[in-house]
Structure 1
Amino acid sequence: MSNLQAQNAYNAYKQNSVTTASPGELTLMLYNGCLKFMHQAKKGILEKNIEMKNTNLIKAQNIITELMSTLNMDLAVSNEMMPLYDYMNRRLMEANIKSDPSIIDEVEGLVVEFRDTWKEVIKFNRQKQFVGNQL
């Protein structure tokens, strides 16, 4: 298999994993993408690559904005999460203006907590479905 064929197969796999993912898995992908972009932004700061920093912080902010837009505000937990997402978004703007990787580290910590909690929710729901299907 040539390198191009391997890349095409990988791209097809990635596209298929997105189109067949559950809403919960898509949210998990968003958290992971946000972490990846923040990591790249920090790399841009360290390498003094302003475009890399800016592009990746904007991508991370776009993901947080998407997460905000998907919150069901009828749920109490959503009303608690919205200000945290807003805070993360504002901190990423500040990190971009100041080129401060420590601010990105702070937001990464919050995103990791959200992601890890979300993983547990998915696992719990799968176990609940499995038990429900066994009855």
Structure 2
Amino acid sequence: MSIVSAAAKRSAYNRDSVLSASPARLLTMLYDRLVLDLARGREALEAGRWPHAWEHLRHADQIVAELASSLRVDLWDGAEDLLRLYGYLADLIVGGMIERDAESIRQATALVEPLREAWHEAAAQVPAATLAAGADLGVA
């Protein structure tokens, strides 16, 4: 199998995984990728590989923007606080990119990891029937 066809198959698999995922699974996938991008970005910053750092940190910032834009502040009392936290995370990530500061990225990671774990725990508690009926429940 050629490298191109393997990459194309992997890309199609990833796309299909996202398209068929429940809302809870999509959220945990975003958090998983956010942690990965932050780790890769920090490592690249520390190694002086600026283009790689920029790529990963820009993607991390885009994930935070997506999390913030999809947050339904009208459905949950704590949503406003989470939205402010997303704003702070974006500031840390962008500041880390501009200043090439790995410590800012470390701080962002320290904030994201407990959230990631909490969302994974919450997603694991959602019954499968509820996940299947997610659209009927108004889950974004």
Q: Which residue of structure 2 aligns with residue 117 of structure 1?
A: 118
Does the alignment pair 1:88 with 2:81? no
Identity %: 24
Aligned length: 129
Q: Secondary structure at the match of 1:76?
A: coil
Does the alignment pair 1:105 with 2:110? no
Pairwise CA distance, 1:57: 1.2
Where structure 2 has 5 or more consecutive residues not aligned to the other structure, the ranges are 131-140
Amino acid at match of 2:27: T
Higher relative CO (Cα under 8 Å, sequence separation at least 6) belongs to 2
Give the whole-Å Cα distance in 2 for the aligned partners of 1:72 and 1:47. Answer: 38
Q: Which has the higher helix share?
A: 1
Give the TM-score, by structure 2 length.
0.82
- 1:7-64 C-alpha deviation (Å, 9 max, x unpaired): 4443332221111001111111111111111122112212212221222211111110
**Cα distance change on mapping 1:122 and 1:9 into 2, 3 Å:** same
Q: Which residue of structure 2 aligns with residue 26 of structure 1?
A: 26
Give the TM-score, by structure 1 length.
0.84
Give the whole-Å Cα distance in 2 for the aligned partners of 1:113 and 1:78. Answer: 16
Q: Which residue of structure 1 aligns with residue 12 of structure 2?
A: 12
Give the whole-Å Cα distance in 2 for the aligned partners of 1:109 and 1:122. Answer: 21
Amino acid at match of 1:46: E
Give the whole-Å Cα distance in 1 for the aligned partners of 2:6 and 2:24. Answer: 28
Where structure 1 has 5 or more consecutive residues not aligned to the other structure, the ranges are 130-135
